Chain A
Amino acid sequence: MRFMAAAMLLALCLPLTACKKEVTRQEVAAFVDKADNAARKRFAPGICELRGKDFRMKMKFQGHEPRMQPTEMEIGRKLYCANAGSFARIRQYRLERKSMDIDISTDRHTARVTADYVETMPYYEFGTQPATPDDFTHFQVVESRDESVVGIEDGDLVFLSTEADAHQSLIRKGSVDIPYD
């Protein structure tokens, strides 16, 4: 009986020992790599599980027409995840990270990650209904600077927030070769 009680106590305490308390630069770098790969796969659950329960995303988006005002929005995790689902419809997608800077907080509980990205994907003109995924004439290139806060939730690293400043430009479809996947 004593052995059983000890085993149960051990089982109860085991999740506590697994609880991560501090973040390291290496772990955060590996976490961002994982997040980028999840984005490349465009599989919504994989993208979503890396966002914290209270995740918020702020985005400023300058469209390809410079005379138009940029759009700004702030959304929570639920809508972010729902939107990640629609990402799966894209058949050609390229994500390149150009730079990354990791700044660990003094208490080592969070890290601020600043990264520059270039995303290339089909551009479907506003108001048109593409007949097939290949029904487009231009790729859109979105260059963005993302500032994210990475922290620990239930023992795992997650994004707590992201602020993105994105600029869109268009290039002709034939000028770049992005394989279907």
Chain B
Amino acid sequence: MGGLSQAFADAFLLLLDFDARVFEIVLLSLQVSGLAVLIGTVIGLPLGACLAVGDFPGKQVAAVVVNGFMGLPSVVVGVVVYLVLSRSGPMGEFGLLYTPSAMVIAQVVLVVPLMAAIARQVVEDSWRQYREELAALRFGWRDTVRVLLHDCRFSLSVAVLAGLGRAMSEVGAVMIVGGNIDRSTRVMTTAIALETSKGDLPLAIALGMVLLVLILLLNAGAFALRTSVMRQFE
């Protein structure tokens, strides 16, 4: 047990010695996952709302697919996106492999089903309240989607945070499509994996602590923002 506590102690000391390269890695993590979640919000939340209230052919199939994809292991997504983006693959001409763009793409694939599934639940619960009223006002499902997305905007932050959590903590997909290239595609999770494989456990733990604190701060920030704005309209 001495080894573990020693590692944590070393990690804490390392953190105090602020390193520019750690900052670079943290910034890239935020950029990649942030962009992925932004795209995920634009695609996933309306998708979830449509699955909740929509009336279109193939809706049931879409719902099953979205739910299934929610449980996709990140390595699987990594391999598939890799094969698609590879020079020998269908989208090879864009040369996206081993770039941060590839990492964003892979994380979008991971994050959209999760955010859609949560949005679907949130919107469904809200719809139950409004259903009769909206029907009497003759709302079609497309208008209903728009109105409910706006009405549930506070609860939908849960979906955004879930997506952010999934994106920032996954390692399988970004490792495979990004290559964990120093100063180029190395993010927090792949850096932790690398330092662990080099046996440098204190540094790995230090990075892990930074990641954890980061995610906590993001959640706390979202909570504060939500409560302050919610006071206006709840």
A and B interact: no
| Chain A residues within 8 Å of B, Cβ to Cβ | none
| Chain B residues within 8 Å of A, Cβ to Cβ | none
